């Protein structure tokens, strides 16, 4: 018999988190989460959980944990997109469709009781790439910082339980030796950007400039995010502050690049971070973000950057501004002695960005799949 239980106590929450280590003990490319940070997050600190109800589930069989799931409702997104949709996140499960079905059916009933008509996910509970989608291709490599990893059988479990593909999201790996050659070949384009009547330049804000950077990022995301994106709406000032401040715990100058036209008009930005996953794996996730920064300063394991997000104002998207930002990002990585940059996931419906990335890389290094299922 399979028993699906809602997490109610601190000890159950710790079981919800710690069971991953048992599930992934034979998967050499799995990178554990930062356990302390996840414990704090799942206690309700993350903004997604403040945007609507949610519940954490454990599937138990013969007194042993066999699976887990987070299910919830993001009310602001539903209202903005005029839909009745719930999300799932943090799915982990043994290779047993019956266990997965028990979790998904419980989630479906929980959502249906609250007026929802569809489930979508997995999405990331913290708004980044950590748990966005099920890894469907790219299993034989270590994921980049804030990219997820799962066993190869997860897509089968979703399909077996009545889900259909909603969207693929692509992660791109930039070999800096090749990418720098490409950047050099398009230097005339970069020079042309700088020579326009408005001018075009980039700046790498220092830590003391974080407050202004947050305001500029908030404004840019509100202006640059397309209205037809079904799974995103412009973040609030508080959400941007949380994104940037969590990044700033590990901040190095060059991790944030802002592009400007004229003297002071922001037109785009890119946020990046060191790829800390080799250190996180070495320490088995038993480290906080603050401690991670200290460990990174004395480690030789970091070899690349993770590009977390990039946005450009619509009127500048065909003028090479994204290329200008990436050129600076590649230069930062090169100065740190790194060999690669890995991008955040790009949804396949974002055709302009996918085409741009394909022109630089050729093909994605990993594919993450988001699923949907009607529930009434």
Average pLDDT per 10 consecutive residues for the chain, totaling 376 residues? 94 96 97 90 68 92 96 80 87 98 97 95 78 93 92 97 95 82 59 54 73 77 69 68 63 82 82 91 87 81 89 81 84 90 86 80 87 91
pLDDT at res. 162? 96
Query: How many residues can be counted in the chain?
Result: 376
pLDDT at res. 157? 98
Helix (H, G, I), strand (E, B) or coil at 229: coil
pLDDT at res. 351? 81
* 143 closest CA partner among 276, 282, 260: 276
Q: What is the pTM of this model?
A: 0.89
Q: Does domain 173-366 have CATH number 3.40.50.720?
A: no
pLDDT at res. 243? 65
Q: Where are the domains of the chain?
A: 2-169, 173-366
- The C-alpha R_g of the chain, in whole angstroms, comes to 21
Helix (H, G, I), strand (E, B) or coil at 112: helix
Task: Please say whether the dihedral angle defined by the alpha carbons of residues 18, 23, 26 and 31, taken in this order, is positive or negative.
Answer: negative
Report the C-alpha gap between 190 and 182 in whole angstroms: 12
Q: Which two tokens stand for residue 203?
A: 């700046």
Asked whether this chain's domains 2-169 and 173-366 adopt the same fold, the reply is yes
* 346 closest CA partner among 303, 304, 311: 311
Helices (H), the chain: 10-23, 35-40, 47-50, 75-81, 97-112, 154-160, 176-185, 187-194, 210-224, 237-248, 277-282, 289-297, 321-335, 351-361
Fold exhibited by the domain 2-169: Aminopeptidase (3.40.630)
pLDDT at res. 122? 95
H or E, element range at 266: strand 265-274
pLDDT at res. 198? 54
pLDDT at res. 81? 66
C-alpha angle 305-280-303 in degrees, rounded to nearest 5? 30
């Amino acid at each position: 018999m399979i028993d699906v239980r809602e997490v109610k106590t601190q000890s159950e929450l710790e079981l919800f988190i710690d069971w991953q280590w048992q599930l992934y003990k034979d998967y050499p490319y799995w990178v554990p989460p930062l356990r302390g940070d996840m414990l704090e997050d799942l206690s309700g600190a993350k903004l997604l959980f403040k945007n609507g109800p949610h519940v954490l589930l454990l599937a138990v069989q013969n007194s042993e944990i066999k699976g887990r799931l987070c299910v919830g409702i993001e009310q602001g997104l539903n209202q903005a997109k005029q839909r009745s949709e719930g999300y799932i996140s943090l799915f982990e499960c043994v290779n047993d469709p019956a266990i997965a079905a028990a979790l998904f059916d419980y989630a479906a009933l929980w959502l249906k009781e609250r007026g929802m008509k569809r489930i979508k996910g997995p999405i990331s509970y913290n708004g980044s790439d950590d748990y966005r989608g099920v890894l469907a291709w790219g299993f034989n490599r270590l994921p980049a910082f804030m990219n997820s990893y799962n066993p190869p059988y997860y897509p089968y479990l979703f399909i077996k339980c009545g889900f259909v593909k909603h969207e693929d999201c692509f992660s791109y790996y930039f070999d800096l030796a090749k990418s720098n050659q490409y950047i050099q070949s398009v230097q005339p384009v970069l020079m042309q950007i700088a020579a326009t009547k408005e001018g075009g330049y980039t700046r790498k804000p220092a830590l003391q400039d974080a407050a202004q950077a947050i305001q500029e990022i908030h404004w840019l995301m509100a202006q640059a995010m397309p209205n037809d994106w079904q799974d995103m709406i412009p973040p609030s000032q508080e959400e941007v502050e949380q994104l940037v401040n969590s990044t700033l715990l590990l901040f190095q100058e060059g991790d944030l690049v802002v592009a400007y036209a004229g003297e002071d008009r922001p037109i785009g930005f890119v946020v990046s971070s060191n790829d800390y996953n080799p250190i996180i794996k070495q320490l088995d996730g038993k480290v906080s973000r603050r401690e991670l920064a200290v460990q990174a300063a004395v480690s030789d394991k970091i070899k690349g950057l993770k590009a977390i997000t990039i946005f450009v104002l619509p009127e500048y998207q065909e003028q090479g501004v994204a290329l200008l930002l990436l050129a600076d990002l590649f230069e930062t990585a090169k100065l740190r002695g790194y060999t690669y940059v890995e991008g955040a996931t790009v949804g396949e419906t974002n055709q302009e960005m996918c085409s741009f990335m394909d022109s630089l890389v050729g093909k994605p290094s990993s594919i993450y799949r988001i699923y949907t299922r009607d529930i009434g």
